[in-house]
Chains A and B, each alone.
Chain A
Amino acid sequence: MISDIQVMIAGYAGDGVLFTGNVLGKILKRQGWEVVTYRDFPSNIRGEAMNYTIRASLNKIYSRGDYIDVLMAFNCDAILRHIKSVGENGVILCEGSVTESVRLSPKKGRTFHKFPMRELAKKNFRSEIFKNTILLGGLCYILDLDMKIIREVLSEVFLKRKGKEIVEKNIQALRLGCDEAEKIIKEEERHSLEERPDKDRLFLSGDEAIALGALAAGCRFFAAYPICPATEIWQWLLKHIHKFNGLVVQTEDEIAAINMALGAAYSGVRAMTSTSGPGASLMMEGFSLAGMAEIPIVVAHVQRVGPSTGLPTRPEQSDLNQWVFGAHGDFPRIVLSPGTIEECFYFMADAFNLAEKYQCPVILLTEQNYGQNFYTVEKFDLSRVSIDRGMLLSQDELLKIEDYKRYALTENGISPRVVPSMANGIHMVEGNEHDEKGYRDEDEEIRIKMMNKRMTKLNIAAKDVIPPKLWGKEESDIGIIGFGSTICPIREAMDQLEEKGISTKYLQVRTLWPFSAAEVEEFMSSCNTVFVVENNYSGQLSRLIQGQGVECSRVHKINKYSGHTFRPVEIAESMLGVLEQ
């Protein structure tokens, strides 16, 4: 029996590809399998090519695989686009009849079938809408899925919104698709995995994990402006935050979003905003204010392809520089980079705790392929989430202080914080340079003291942030360094190399600022060859490493900036190319 399958649904935007993929993902998760999705869609609504890859496995998987086992194509064009990625024993089902060009394309071991979803839907239900469920029915046969599970998922999807009748019709359509596939698919063309119990697992996107993490971490105010691929964070929160007496506000732009969040954070509420490249550029001035005025605020940034409007729905890692070096002036900032969906969740609590402990802005930097793709994970452990509000004083504590100073000079740079409405705590929160009470002051000596105070906090935080994580064989002398979601293809590439007898290790940088220079240096010195793998053009991480004065002569950069994530084999082959020299 096989242990891994990969299905691609491909068509044009408007064919229902996203919907079908989402439902299929959920079904495969309920079968007890590990699931990873890869949604590849342009930033428009209708008419352009798009596809949805769903990989399921009995083993832990991290990324989309290299080859497709089943391609469900809504048109011939989709076959031509993806035939290269279909594996040797792949099955291709196509809505229309197969054209000459497809017939002539190389197809060693691959088989084609006409699967007339639209036609069947029109004939049997007088509506094209059912084509997607018919398609699911076809997959149900090929993948030998559990009918009970599919029924369950379909009724969850349709019952509340559309009612019982629609559920029943969809189940009929499902049967129809299944029967049709049985007629045309040979037994040896079926790809089935062993069903397993699905216990205590979640199936969610990085955006949803961030939103859930924010809620668990006590985020009660969220201000944001719509932008792909980060909007899902607050759209999900909107459904739940009121149950916790919290609020989401859609603002007029990102400038308002960060400033409104700053106002709320200053009022004593855990507040955040979310955005992507262009929005982050607009937030830079507010980011700088947060640093100067020492306001704890969290920004979740889901990276897309830049510069400018770039490729709005596709992944890249080119906004590291923006948060690590961006905005005017020197001020403390913390930039976290989750490498798994679990970390998207758990790092939110870290982000809020660090923000309040060090009274500075904290950025959670992730990428579109996490933000908008779905993964199976163990149910989150809420006992691992705790809330640490740092030096936030209670009213009683404040009343005991004789002469309260918001920006009191202390050894570690952290000053006791109070919020408006507290008696005995009146002060200014100031974006201009200020004295200990927050009142504007341009005295040279005060300026130096205040700069040192703020930057001291960062030195202390450097010992308290999330350290890098080591994966793979510690004793290996071939090292890989990266951050964020590239861990997915990297870990798969490491497995591929291991099969070839080449052991490797991976250092996942989890805090981009303050940078874990010592750990990175130590890791590099234990390697003969080091690869820095990044989804960007210039190698922003490798430049960051270089900027720390780390010896970098043995570093080989592997970069991809096509608007897509790496396929594992691309990384493995690039590494082999260097190693075999």
Chain B
Amino acid sequence: MKENSYHLHDPTWCRGCGIYGIFAALKKAAASLQIPPERMVIVTGIGCHGRLNNYFNAYGFHGLHGRVLPVAAGVKLANSSLAVLAVSGDGDAYSIGVGHFIHANRRNVNMICIVVDNRVYGLTQGQTSPTSQKGYVSVSSPFGSKETPLDGPRLAIVSGGTFVARGFSGIPEHLTALIIEGMTHNGFSLIEVLSPCVTHNKINTYKWFKEHIVNLDDDTNFSAKNKKKALEVLSDQSKIPIGLLYHEERPSFDDLSLPSDTPIALTKLDVDEKKLDAIMKDFM
């Protein structure tokens, strides 16, 4: 499978939008893992990020604002042989869907979640988002945002996440490597991607992100196995660390709760009178 086997249509995001970089990295990752398109399901939220599966050659599910993670978990648990990818936004995952985000991390279903963090509500024309910085001026906060921004990876780690990473759509090779690693991780993998919205966010531009990110690969003292370290790096508000922040091996929800190795969706469906009859005896 080549990269362009996953390319269905040319996207129509604004020219220069960060999501192009994510789209490219995803195609590369899928090609590198040789995932047949029909074995891949991409579930997206509502927002500019939500268009991604319109352009990607794989099964796609575009549902409700904020509800990506429960849908994706349902898809995966019903057919564990699928590669399931959830694509969400900073509004989708951290605002309206933040309850699911927390529980997806602790539940640890074997799937990958990409949060496209453009620090703004793109699709609805530029309102302030939970990751917009304090004082951020937008149509919904003309006098500057009064709230402290939310840090997705930090929330993921304290919620029991087992694979927490952050990438930048401006460095596609680094992002591709993270996605590949996340896809091979057994459990819930979060990859937050810093992704400039060139139309609405004039603060967090490519240049701004480049000036603020630090690549953890360059820090020889850092280990993603150390939760305390991860939280420590994330607490430095002046820098935005990218790379694998935290990684833990823990049996996935699938390992712990699926009744067999045969995916539920592939089990023959019939009325098993013998088994049901035995169960009915409980009521006699």
Contact = CB atoms under 8 A, between A and B. Distances in A.
A266 B76 CA distance: 10
Chain B interface category by residue count: 35 or more
A435 B48 CA distance: 19
Interface in A439-466: 439-440
A245 B79 contact: no
A560 B275 CA distance: 42
Interface stretch (A38-46, A111-119, A425-433, A490-498): A425-433
B265 A421 contact: yes
B284 A263 contact: no
A249 interface: yes
23 contacts: A202-B280, A202-B283, A240-B279, A243-B259, A244-B267, A244-B272, A245-B264, A249-B257, A255-B100, A259-B63, A259-B64, A263-B70, A264-B264, A266-B61, A266-B74, A268-B78, A268-B79, A269-B78, A379-B280, A382-B276, A421-B79, A421-B265, A422-B38
Interface stretch (B52-60, B199-207, B210-218, B226-234): B52-60
B54 A440 contact: yes
Given A382-B277, A385-B271, A427-B60, A247 B257 contact: yes
B70 A251 contact: yes
Given A202-B283, A218-B271, A429-B62, A423 B38 contact: yes
B216 to A, nearest CB: 31
A255 B265 contact: no
A364 interface: no
Contacts of A430: 60, 62
Contacts, number: 196
Given A245-B262, A245-B267, A440-B54, A263 B73 contact: yes
Interface residues of A, number: 70
Interface string B247-268: 0000000000111101011010
A151 interface: no
Contact of B79 (A251, A379, A380, A420): A420
Contacts of B276: 212, 215-216, 382
B270 interface: yes
Contacts of A257: 70
Given A223-B70, A246-B259, A426-B37, 4 more contacts: A243-B275, A255-B99, A261-B74, A428-B54
Nearest to B73: A260
A439 B54 CA distance: 6
A289 interface: yes
Interface in B55-87: 57-64, 67, 69-79, 81-82
B103 interface: yes
Contacts of A556: none
B67 A246 contact: no
For A386, A424, A438, which residue has the most chain B Cβ atoms within 10 angstroms?
A438
Contacts of A264: 74-75, 77-78, 264
A576 interface: no
Contact of A247 (B64, B259, B272): B259
Contact of B280 (A212, A253, A387): A212
Contacts of B102: 252
A267 B37 contact: no
Nearest to A430: B62
B38 A247 contact: no
Nearest to A267: B78
B43 interface: yes
Interface string A258-277: 01111111111111000000
Given A385-B271, A419-B265, A429 B60 contact: yes
